[in-house]
Amino acid sequence: MPYWERAPDPRLAWFLERISFSTDPPGERSPPVRVVPDGRIDLLISVDDRGAGRADVFGVKTVALFAESVRPVANIALTFRPGAAPALLGVRADELTDRSLPADALLGAGWSARLLDTPDLRTRAERVEAALLARLPSVPSDRDALAGQAAARIERRAGQVRVAELARELGVGERRLERAFRAQVGVAPKTFARIARFRAAWRALERGGRPVEIALAQGYFDQPHLVRDFVAFASDAPRRIFPSR
C-alpha cells in the first residue's frame, strides 16, 4: 500500500501533526492492518474504487484496532496533536476514547458528503483543511494548552516520567493535570505515559532491537513486563508481531 505524508496548512499547525495518504493498488485490497495506540485523535476519510466513502473521527485508543476494507480504498488521515482536537472539534477527548464517530456528528450534517465528491486525494485533502480552517474563528483564543504541554514532555522522555514530578514542573496540582489531560487528550497522564513507553519499545523493535535489551532501556521491570504492555496495547506478544526478534 503506497503511503506518504505532508505537513498541514501552517494555520492548522497548532492542531494537526500531519496529514497522511495511503492507497490500495487497483483491483486489490490490503490485508488487515494492526493499528496500535499512539495517544492521538484522527480524522479518517476513506473512499473506495466505486466512489463510496465515509469520514470518521477516531478517539485515542487504549487497545489495538484491526482495520480492513472490503474493496480497494484511498485514505486521508489527519492526525491531531495530543490535547488539540477538542478545541477544533468541539468535544471532550474522553468522550471519544476507544470510539469512533461519523465526522458529520461533530462537524455538521452533510459535511462528509460535500467532501467526498472530489475526484482526487489532493483536492479532497485541501477541502478538509479548508473546512477545518473555517472553524478557527470559533476556537477560544484562551484555549487551555496545559495537556498538550504535558503530553509533549511525556513523549520527549518516552513515557519515563512520574505524574507528580510532571505536575510540579508545570506548576499545577496532580488533580488539575489529570482533569485537563482526560478532557483534552482522552486518557489519564499515567496511561498516556504507558502508551508513549510502549510506542518507544515498538519503534526499537522495528529497528531490530532485542526485546530483553529494549525492556530495560525503556524502563520496564523486565521482559515479561514489556510483554504485558504489548498484549494490552497491541493484542499480542512482541515475538508474534516481530517474529525475527
Do 111 and 206 share a domain, yes or no?
Answer: no
Do 57 and 175 share a domain, yes or no?
Answer: no
Structure pTM? 0.93
- Mean pLDDT for the chain overall: 92
Whose cell is 510540579? That residue is 168
Per mean pLDDT, which range of 64-78, 173-187, 196-210 is the poorest? 64-78
Question: Which range among 83-97, 113-127, 133-147 has the greatest average pLDDT?
Answer: 83-97
- Segment (H or E) for 73: strand 73-80
Residue 204 carries which DSSP code? H
> Residue 167's pLDDT is what?
97
Q: Does 140 or 42 have the greater pLDDT score?
A: 42
Residue 101 carries which DSSP code? E
**The domain spanning residue 180 has which CATH number?**
1.10.10.60
Amino acid identity for residue 6 in this structure: R
Do 33 and 53 share a domain, yes or no?
Answer: yes
Taking residues 27-31, what's their average pLDDT?
A: 71
Do 45 and 82 share a domain, yes or no?
Answer: yes
Do 102 and 50 share a domain, yes or no?
Answer: yes
Per mean pLDDT, which range of 1-5, 43-47, 67-71, 214-218 is the poorest? 67-71
Taking residues 61-81, what's their average pLDDT?
A: 91
**pLDDT tens column, 193-229:** 999 999 999 999 999 989 999 999 999 999 999 999 9
Residue 94 lies in domain: 3-138
Minimal CA–CA distance to 13: which of 100, 92, 78?
A: 78
Do 133 and 152 share a domain, yes or no?
Answer: no
List the Cα angle 61/226/187 in 5-degree steps.
25
> Residue 68's pLDDT is what?
81
The count of structural domains within the chain is 2
Do 130 and 153 share a domain, yes or no?
Answer: no
Do 203 and 110 share a domain, yes or no?
Answer: no
